[in-house]
């Protein structure tokens, strides 16, 4: 996967720079997300593996994408097809979204709790994370009853495990060593 990231980074950076220059960050994020989903389609993956010429791949891909891509987005597809890199579109999308969130100083955090949290608890968690990370935080919440009680928060590389299950696991590890 790191190979795909290395391949994707220059395409994502070029798309990002163009999007910033033209003030089209949101539009580019939508276009790349759509194109990435198209490449995940099983039929499209078979076509990408089939060895078609770059111009034929471009034609097929753009016919599927339709009007979802503007002229610059279509040019990106053409360049990537010419270089045999259409399979890297999901990684390009991920890299682009990372650059976008870095510019906007935002981050997504997943909050997993043993029970559903109310709005005041989510607001408190959001404020604390924003202070700690110096970024605007978007919370994605889920419930996992196996935690017994407490929460597990993941934001980028940061993991805060304040669950009873996590504490029991750490206690077990300490007692066994």
Do 68 and 31 meet the contact criterion of CB atoms below 8 Å apart?
yes
- 23 plus 86 within the same structural domain: yes
- 54 plus 37 within the same structural domain: yes
Count other C-beta atoms under 10 Å from residue 124's C-beta: 11
Among residues 47, 70, 102, the one where a domain terminates is: 102
The Cα–Cα gap between 89 and 93 comes to 6
pTM for this structure? 0.70
Among residues 102, 122, 145, the one where a domain terminates is: 102
Backbone φ/ψ region at 146: left (φ over 0), alpha (ψ -120 to 50), beta: alpha
Q: State the 10-residue block means of pLDDT for the chain, 177 residues long.
A: 80 93 92 92 86 85 87 91 90 92 87 91 92 90 89 89 89 90
- 13 plus 83 within the same structural domain: yes
Count other C-beta atoms under 10 Å from residue 3's C-beta: 9
- 124 plus 150 within the same structural domain: yes
Do 165 and 122 meet the contact criterion of CB atoms below 8 Å apart?
no
Q: Which domain holds residue 34?
A: 2-102
């Amino acid at each position: 996967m790191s190979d795909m990231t290395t391949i994707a980074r220059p395409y994502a950076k070029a798309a990002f720079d163009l999007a910033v220059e033209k003030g089209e960050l949101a539009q580019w994020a939508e276009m790349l997300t759509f194109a990435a989903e198209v490449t995940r389609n099983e039929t499209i993956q078979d076509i990408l593996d089939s060895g078609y010429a770059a111009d034929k791949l471009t034609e097929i891909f753009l016919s599927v994408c339709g009007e979802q891509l503007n002229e610059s987005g279509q040019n990106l597809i053409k360049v990537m097809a010419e270089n045999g890199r259409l399979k890297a579109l999901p990684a390009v999308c991920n890299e682009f979204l990372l650059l976008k969130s870095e510019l906007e100083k935002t981050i997504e955090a997943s909050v997993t709790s043993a029970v559903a949290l109310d709005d005041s608890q989510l607001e408190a968690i959001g404020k604390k994370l924003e202070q700690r990370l110096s970024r605007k935080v978007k919370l994605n919440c889920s419930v996992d009853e196996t935690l017994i009680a407490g929460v597990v928060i993941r934001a980028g590389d940061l993991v805060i495990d304040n669950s009873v299950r996590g504490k029991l696991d750490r206690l077990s590890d300490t007692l066994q060593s």
